[in-house]
């Protein structure tokens, strides 16, 4: 199986298209607006996890931990932004 990679600098839409469980994980992390129809197809193209973390006030570390635990490799993530 190919390696699953969460790149913190890639648009969220790309990740959502690639990984079927991405949206639910994000929702559970507190990105509750992600499931509203039309959000991923608009905002999702302009926002990556680094921006999303700041916009929603959800720490990068929390996001990275959750995806690591789910078997993802974390890329372009530095804690000291």
Residues that bind other proteins (CB under 8 A): 33, 36-39, 41-43, 45-47, 51, 54-57
**56/48 Cα distance (integer angstroms):** 12
- Shortest Cβ distance from residue 30 to other proteins (Å)? 13
**5/39 Cα distance (integer angstroms):** 22
- Shortest Cβ distance from residue 17 to other proteins (Å)? 13
- Shortest Cβ distance from residue 63 to other proteins (Å)? 16
Contact at 8 Å (CB) between 10 and 48? yes
Identity of the residue, 35 or 70, whose beta carbon is nearer to other proteins in the bound complex: 35
Q: Is 75 left (phi over 0), alpha (psi -120 to 50) or beta?
A: beta
Identity of the residue, 11 or 67, whose beta carbon is nearer to other proteins in the bound complex: 11
């Amino acid at each position: 199986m190919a390696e699953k990679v969460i790149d913190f600098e890639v648009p969220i839409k790309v990740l959502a298209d690639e990984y079927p469980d991405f949206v639910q994980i994000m929702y559970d992390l507190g990105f509750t607006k992600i499931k509203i129809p039309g959000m991923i197809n608009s905002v999702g193209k302009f926002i990556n996890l680094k921006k999303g973390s700041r916009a929603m006030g959800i720490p990068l570390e929390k996001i990275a931990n959750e995806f690591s635990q789910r078997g993802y490799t974390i890329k372009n993530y530095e804690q000291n932004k």
